Amino acid sequence: MAAIYDNQNIRWNMSIDKQDVQKIAHLARLALTEADADQYQLSLSSVLSLVEEMQSVNTDGVEPLSNPLEMTQRLREDVVTEENRRDAFLANAPQTEAGLFLVPKVID
């Protein structure tokens, strides 16, 4: 990955290469063709250059804000509140057997 600071335009030019794209796609579990990877290399680089503007801002001493209302997580009693609706939930699954979700064989 290469970050090039362009003094004339006062903005960062972030470019990522095709290998980076394939690595990110693998982490995100997305199968990309060669042609897809070319496209995403361009579009991801554009977006990363756009967001690079953040790096010029001084945020020393600023606390990150994760919830706009700064609420804390509400807790509840650890009791069963839902009824068993196994059949309803299985109805949307691509493949099921004996009341279970079916996936390709994992262990031989």
Partner 1 sequence: MFEQSISTLAQKLRNKDISSVELTRLFLARIAKLDPQLNSFITVSEQRALEQAAAADALLQSGKGTSLTGIPVAHKDLFCTEGTLTTCGSRMLNNFIPPYESTVTSRIQQAGAVMLGKTNMDEFAMGSSNENSFYGAVKNPWNLDMVPGGSSGGSAAAVAAGLAVAATGTDTGGSIRQPASFCGITGLKPTYGRVSRFGMIAYASSLDQGGPMAKSAEDCAHLMQAMAGFDEKDSTSADKPADDYLANLNTPLTGLKIGLPKEYFGEGLDPQVADVIMAAVKEFEKLGATVKEISLPNLQLSIPSYYVIAPSEASSNLSRFDGVRFGHRCDDPKDLLDMYMRSRAEGFGTEVQKRIMIGTYALSEGYYDAYYLKAQKIRRLIKEDFVKALEEVDVIMGPVAPTTAFGLGSKTSDPVAMYLEDIYTLSVNLAGIPAMSIPAGFADGMPVGLQVMGNYFAEAKLLNVAHQYQQHTDWHLQTPTMAKGA
Q: Give me the residues that bind partner 1 (CB under 8 A), please.
A: 16, 21, 24-32, 36, 39-40, 42-44, 46-48, 50-55, 57, 59, 62-69, 71, 73-74, 76, 85, 88-89, 91-95, 101, 103-106
CB of 83 to partner 1, least distance (A): 11
Give dist(CA 30, CA 98) in Å, integer: 30
CB of 88 to partner 1, least distance (A): 4
- Residue 4 or residue 62: which is nearer to partner 1 going by CB? 62
CB of 1 to partner 1, least distance (A): 9
- Is residue 37 within 8 A of residue 21, CB to CB? The reply is yes
- Residue 74 or residue 80: which is nearer to partner 1 going by CB? 74
